[in-house]
Chain A
Amino acid sequence: MPVEPLNSETLFAVTGLSKHFGGAAKGWLQKEKPAVKAVNDVSFTIARGETFGLVGESGSGKSTVARLMLRAYDVTAGSIRFRRSDGNTVELASAGKAELQALRRQMQMIFQDPYSSLNPRMTLLELVGEPLLIHGVASGSELEDRVAELLRLVGLRPEFRGRYPHAFSGGQRQRIGIARALALNPAFIAADEAVSALDVSVAAQNINLMQDLQEQFGLTYLFITHDLSMVQHISNRIGVMYVGRLMEVSATEPMFAEPLHPYTEALLSAVPQPDPKRNRGRKRIMLKGEIPDASNPPKGCAFHPRCPYAKDICKAEEPELREAKPGRFSRCHFAGELSLTGAY
């Protein structure tokens, strides 16, 4: 199947991506469950060397998007094009086992939970060396040298390689995960809530490390988080997700200055600021109600029951993600027409 090639600046192009879990009866004598539409018609691109932030609240499907891009799950519908290091474009959504196996060297993941993402029964040498072994890159003393180099790179002492993960704090374990992800010199790393479980001072250290590594190796990041201040700090462009849909995609500054979707506005307004005087002066938008269930989203625009600007059309018709301003996309019937408040 011919794949439309990506230009040299683009690393990933996701088009109309959907993932539904469950649905039809899964096995013999088992009961049918309603399908959970975790990801619905998501489209965006990631440029080479940039950090793309994906924000959203729990159940928004942001983690699922990352896992689909790395093909931890099978894709229900849509296409994920990836530009390989040799310049050829591949379609990941339909890639076969062998093809994926080779591609895994070029894309890696950092997990949220630094405790469960490292096998407690393996030493640092085994953990960080595993990708090298699997892909036959190095073995023996060469492997040890490479692991020592990787550990040094993330600020851990190479002498630690005989230790097990239980010897390390959360922040250090996260660094072990980063070293493992870097082992095969990937082009792309998806960081799924990589610093959310850490204390602020430790999170800051690891964020700086990730940015240094990006500079050093020209990495492209997909940075998934629910922390808007963090995503603003690290991302060049941001996608905002809500109930499996991408509500807005835009470069960071313009989005925070002047959001194009009412949900983005509400999110920005909800973040408590470490500035007591400003908090008092600010009028916050209080969203009514709760996040809808992904197995039973509302008709029309998924955000309409909570949207302060909702009109009749919002209840009836689901808007498309469209380019409302140059390079800025919004899934709102009134994108560009409303005057929404940003964070500045």
Chain B
Amino acid sequence: MTDTTLINPTPVDTNDAKEALYRATPRQLMWWRFRKHKLAVISLCVLVFAYLTIAFAEFTAPYDPYEITEMATMQPPQPVHLFDEDWNFQGPFVYGLKRTRDLETAAVIYTVDTDEIVPLRFFVEGPEYLFWGLIPGSIHLFGAEDPDARIYLLGTDTLGRDLLSRLIHGGRTTLTIGILGVFFSFLIGITLGSISGYYGGRTDGAIQRLMEFIRSIPTIPLWMGLAAALPVEWDPLFVYFLITILLSLISWTHLARTVRGSFLSLRGEDYVLAARLLGASEKRIIIKHMLPAMTSYIIAAVTLSVPEMILGETALSFLGLGLRPPVVSWGVLLQEAQSLRVIVQAPWLLLPGLAIVIIVLSFNFLGDGLRDAADPYGR
């Protein structure tokens, strides 16, 4: 008797909980399943944070990414402190740096000056900007109290530009290329994939062969050829747009394959046949029965192909074939960190690489989580 009560401790409210489960919509079931995937949830948070940051880049970045400070070239990162050397609470602050020159080699040397405390303040007045090129403003998320003082949390590059600001503005380019590029390849992929999967036969054969052809082209030489065809004098923004289209022209095949595959497998489902035998029109079958089952897979596939785009942009720009300065992107930032001398003297310039790794991993984990949650009815 006693052990029976141990096994079913809550016979009263289980029915409500069960009824909720019975009435759970597909979206709820997917969310419940997704929530169990801890890594995916964390990745989702990371990505939301990253995209919010770049969406408000002018505000979140403390300085203009192009502002050159000759007296602060290759300055190392200044870590944030809360307590000074005597353990007195000061609020967030950084120590000032003293710039000297090695008398023998004439190299610039920075030393930490623990006497000079530069306090950090939130929502401070800083350099003026045009938010999204439209709205003028001068408030920044954080910065030094004194509008003329400069703090470099991630250090500066060879021209004395703030790396953090460049990272945030570069992220805007790189991360939107990822999304935009995927959007284009999604358009091409879903159109050709569904035509291929739905009509089958000769059309399917032709599209399949085209996809195989595109997949067999070695990508880097193709990029090089196409990039070389883009005139140097074109507007960087236009080049940026062309690069995304370029990337999506190559990567749509993966999505098309996913769409075609799910079309084919869904066509064979009994419930699709059942709908057909009920007299449902092709349109109704596609909209009511096939698309809802496919969207989750497509979202997962799209998520998993964003990193491909990001890496593509990075690789192109790193090789000097993609975006070129003055446009900032993570690939451009990495290109600037190409020389051995720079890496030895200013290793923090490799930080954009770390940012890429984090973003790419997050997209992959998120995609995995979505894929697992995509079919909550799998048994």
Q: Is B279 in contact with A131, judged by CB distance below 8 angstroms?
A: yes
* Separation of A187 and B377 alpha carbons in the complex (Å): 33
Question: B205 within 8 Å of A by Cβ?
Answer: yes
Min CB distance B66 to A, Å, is 51
Q: How far is the CA of A104 from the CA of B280 in the complex (A)?
A: 10
Beta-carbon nearest neighbor of A111 in chain B = B270
B379: A residues at CB distance < 8 A:
115
* A104 to B24 CA separation, bound complex (whole angstroms): 32
Asked if residues A27 and B23 are in contact (CB atoms below 8 Å), the reply is: no
| Structural contact, B289 and A70, CB atoms closer than 8 A | no
Q: Is the CB of A72 within 8 A of B278?
A: no
Determine whether the beta carbon of B202 is less than 8 Å from that of A180.
Answer: no
Could you say which of A101, A121, A122 has the most chain B C-beta atoms within 10 Å of its C-beta?
A121
Residues on B with C-beta less than 8 A from A30 are 205
- Contact assessment for A130 and B206 in the assembled complex, using a CB-CB cutoff below 8 Å: no
CB of B292 within 8 A of chain A?
yes
B205 lies within 8 A of A27 (CB): yes
Q: Are B24 and A117 in contact (CB under 8 A)?
A: no
Is B206 a contact of A117 with CB atoms below 8 Å? no
Taken residue by residue from 266 to 309, chain B's Cβ proximity to chain A (1 for < 8 Å, 0 otherwise) reads as 00011101111111110010001100110000000000000000
Determine whether the beta carbon of B271 is less than 8 Å from that of A70: no
Q: Chain B at the A interface: mostly helix, strand, loop or mixed?
A: helix
Q: Across the interface, name the chain B residue whose C-beta is closest to A105.
A: B279
Rounded to whole angstroms, the CA-CA distance of A101 and B24 in the bound complex is: 33
B279 touches A101 (CB 8 A): yes
Q: CB distance A28 to B277 under 8 Å?
A: no
| B-side interface size class | 20 to 34
Is the beta-carbon distance between A134 and B274 smaller than 8 angstroms?
no
A27, B289: Cβ atoms closer than 8 Å: no
Are A26 and B377 closer than 8 Å at their CB atoms?
no
| B271 close to A28 (CB less than 8 A) | no
Partner of B277, one of A70, A118, A121, A135: A70
Using a CB-CB cutoff of 8 Å, which residues 239-270 of chain B contact chain A?
269-270
Q: Is the CB of B206 within 8 A of A108?
A: no
Quick check: B205 and A28 within 8 Å, CB to CB?
Answer: yes
Which residues from chain B contact A334 at a C-beta distance below 8 Å?
none
CB-based contact A28/B206 at 8 Å: yes
CA A134 to CA B281, docked complex, whole Å: 8
B205 to chain A, nearest CB (A): 4
Min distance, Cβ A130 to any Cβ of chain B, angstroms: 6
Question: Does A121 lie within 8 Å of B274, measured CB to CB?
Answer: no
Cβ distance B378 to chain A, nearest Cβ, rounded Å: 10
Given A111-B270, A164-B24, A167-B21: A130 touches B205 (CB 8 Å cut-off): no
| A contact residues around B22 at 8 Å (CB) | 160, 163-164, 166-167
Chain A 118-160 interface residues, beta-carbon cutoff 8 Å to B? 118-123, 130-131, 134-135, 160
Identify the closest chain A residue to B206 (Cβ).
A28
- In chain B, residues 171-190, which have Cβ atoms closer than 8 Å to a Cβ of chain A? none
Q: Which residues of B contact A109 (CB under 8 A)?
A: 274, 277
Given A166-B377, A167-B21, are A104 and B204 also a contact pair (CB < 8 Å)?
no
| Chain B residues in 8 Å Cβ range of A164 | 22-26
CA gap between A164 and B21 in the complex, in Å = 9
C-alpha gap A108/B276 in the complex (Å) = 11
Verify B280–A117 contact, CB threshold 8 A. no
- Shortest Cβ gap from B290 to chain A (Å): 10
A119 touches B278 (CB 8 A): no
Interface hits, A168-212 → B, CB 8 Å: 177, 180, 184
Residues of chain A touching chain B, judged by Cβ–Cβ distance below 8 Å, are 26-30, 70, 72, 100-101, 104-105, 108-109, 111, 113, 115-123, 130-131, 134-135, 160, 162-164, 166-167, 177, 180, 184
- Chain B residues with CB under 8 Å of chain A are 21-26, 29, 200-202, 204-206, 209, 269-271, 273-281, 284, 288-289, 292-293, 377, 379
Can you report 27 residue pairs joining A to B where beta carbons are below 8 Å apart?
A: A28-B205, A28-B206, A28-B209, A72-B276, A101-B279, A104-B277, A104-B278, A109-B274, A111-B270, A111-B274, A116-B270, A117-B271, A117-B274, A119-B288, A121-B293, A123-B23, A130-B275, A131-B278, A134-B278, A134-B284, A135-B279, A163-B22, A164-B22, A164-B26, A166-B22, A180-B278, A184-B278
A120-B377, A166-B29 known; 13 new pairs, CB 8 Å cut-off, are A28-B209, A111-B270, A117-B274, A119-B271, A121-B292, A131-B279, A134-B280, A135-B279, A162-B23, A164-B22, A164-B25, A180-B278, A184-B278
A-B pairs, 8 with minimum CB distance:
A167-B22, A104-B279, A117-B270, A27-B205, A28-B205, A120-B377, A163-B22, A116-B270
